[in-house]
Amino acid sequence: MSDGAPVLALEKVSKSFGPVQALQDVDFEVRPGEVVALVGDNGAGKSTLVKAIAGIHAIDSGRIVFEGQPARIATPTDAVHLGIATVYQDLALCDNLDVVENLFLGREERAGGIAAITRQLDETSMERQSHELLNTLAVTIVDVRSEVGTLSGGQRQQVAIARSLLGDPKVVLLDEPTAALGVRQTAQVLNLIRRLKEQGHGVVVISHNLADVFEVADRIFVLRLGRKSGVYDAKETTHEEIVGAITGASDPSTGDLGPPVGAESGEQSTEVRQTGDQR
């Protein structure tokens, strides 16, 4: 894990939707070559936080800092231009198109010379780049001309992640990347996340699956009721401690385990709900 300055930092970020306070004074950061898992119960604010980084929701207050400079992220285009890529749970792939066509969808390359007059695509270049990208990521797809609809769930996730890397982003946001996958497919995706880390990308993973979180995360950031409940070193914490932070069992107001490391002072627990290994 990188010990350098954060590539992305959120400082005292808040976001509300009418009377609902989705995020309140949240500090969050990810460094180059680091995997940060974002966990919490349903309604904790995970999706709102990621969508604020991705430019779907503009923040109400606080600030976002990218590579040491204040950044304004008001639209998804702003996020992409900064170097932030997001892979949502639905993947947004076209099943009737092959792997190459999905990777370059919306950014197709035109052929040069006489072929440019007829606006022909440079299929050779796109196929070559697809092979190079997938080989670099050790993706388990042999035929890049296979229709995406014929691929396994794990391979589809690999295509979606690979597509996000064509712009060479600094930060990659992954929303439930192993949801509904089998054991083998999950292993493929977790290996790909490790490759992203090795290549120096900052990676943020939303997941309900704590087993997967402990497999790949360097740090675990827990949100509870829109606030930071704790930040944990994955190698030094336990499943029980993380579940306690998620449910509020470690909040001093419950009289149980005491405050989690890095918890915001003055947080009160209003809800206790068990979260386990969900798909």
pLDDT digit string (tens) for 151-209? Answer: 999 999 999 999 999 888 999 999 999 998 999 999 999 999 999 999 999 999 999 99
Q: What gap in Å lies between CA 220 and CA 242, rounded to an integer?
A: 8
Q: What gap in Å lies between CA 80 and CA 83, rounded to an integer?
A: 5
Residue 111 CB-density burial (10 A; 0-12 exposed, 13-18 middle, 19+ buried):
middle
State yes or no: pLDDT of 114 exceeds 90: no
Q: What gap in Å lies between CA 117 and CA 222, rounded to an integer?
A: 54
pLDDT value of residue 233 = 98
pLDDT value of residue 274 = 37
How distant, in Å, are the alpha carbons of 63, 201, 220, 276 from that of 68? 12, 16, 22, 36
Q: What percent of the chain stands above pLDDT 70?
A: 84
pLDDT value of residue 262 = 40
Q: What is the mean pLDDT of the chain?
A: 86
Q: 12: Cβ–Cβ under 8 A, 6 or more apart, which residues?
A: 25, 26, 27, 61, 62, 63
pLDDT value of residue 2 = 53
DSSP string, 40-74: -STTSSHHHHHHHHHTSS--SEEEEEETTEEE---
Q: Are 246 and 39 in contact (CB under 8 A)?
A: yes
Q: List the structure tokens of 38.
A: 């974002």
Whole-model pTM: value is 0.82
State yes or no: pLDDT of 131 exceeds 70: yes
* Domain residue limits, the chain: 1-83+169-279, 94-167
Residue 35 CB-density burial (10 A; 0-12 exposed, 13-18 middle, 19+ buried):
buried
**Domain covering 1-83+169-279: architecture:** 3-Layer(aba) Sandwich (3.40)
Q: Are strands 84-87 and 171-175 parallel, antiparallel or unpaired?
A: parallel
pLDDT value of residue 101 = 93
Q: Which residue has the higher pLDDT, 251 or 53?
A: 53
